[in-house]
Amino acid sequence: MFLFNQGLWDKSRSKRSTQLQPKGQKGVIMRKFGYSRAASGFTLLELIVAIAIASVVMGIAIPSFLSWMPTLRLSSGARQVAMDLQVARMKAISQNVKYRLNFVTATSYTFEKDADNNGVFDSPAESGPFSLPDGITVTATGALASEFQPRGTVNVASEITLQNGNSETKKVQVAVVGRVKLL
């Protein structure tokens, strides 16, 4: 009786037979339990085609992306140096002492502080060393002389040049008034 109530069996249409017979269409049972051809998933062929298309797109995109990596690292390094110069300026203003970025090597730098304002920067450095992104080197023009004064200005304007492995460059400029600018 349960199968009859669920609609899986038909009553015989003839009056001679009193037996229950299964419905004639095969898909009726599958649809009754929520199965249908449209909702049954992907075929193996469809999955292979989708993976092949994705592989071709990635094969084209990845080399292009890898060629952009040095440029992205250069931009990231320039923003990092500019931001840290601004941090040094803010620390000089807030703590009323001189601050500077000292480039220890071509790929790293430290924050230095003149705590007693005697013109000699404290050793060891306040924080650091901070590393630039891989493949980025720095050339500082007057960077060691550019110390942020307690009022946020610098004693000498400077320009810091960053270079990547492709010989592309970005410059960070520090004006006498203490403004840090990416060029």
Q: Residue 152 belongs to what domain range?
A: 72-182
Please indicate, yes or no, if residue 34 is contained in any of the structural domains.
no
Please indicate, yes or no, if residue 67 is contained in any of the structural domains.
no
Report the C-alpha dihedral over residues 103, 107, 111, 117, rounded to 10 degrees. Answer: 0
Two structure tokens written together for 169: 């460059």
Number of domains composing the chain: 1
Two structure tokens written together for 21: 């017979």
Q: What is the CATH number of the domain that holds 167?
A: 3.55.40.10
Please indicate, yes or no, if residue 64 is contained in any of the structural domains.
no
Local confidence pLDDT in tens for the 183 residues of the chain: 455 455 555 555 555 555 555 555 555 555 555 555 555 678 899 999 999 999 999 999 888 888 888 999 999 999 999 999 999 999 999 999 998 888 888 888 888 888 887 878 877 777 778 899 989 998 875 555 578 999 999 988 888 999 998 889 999 999 999 999 998
Enter the pTM of the model: 0.66
Instruction: Name the DSSP letter for residue 145.
Output: T
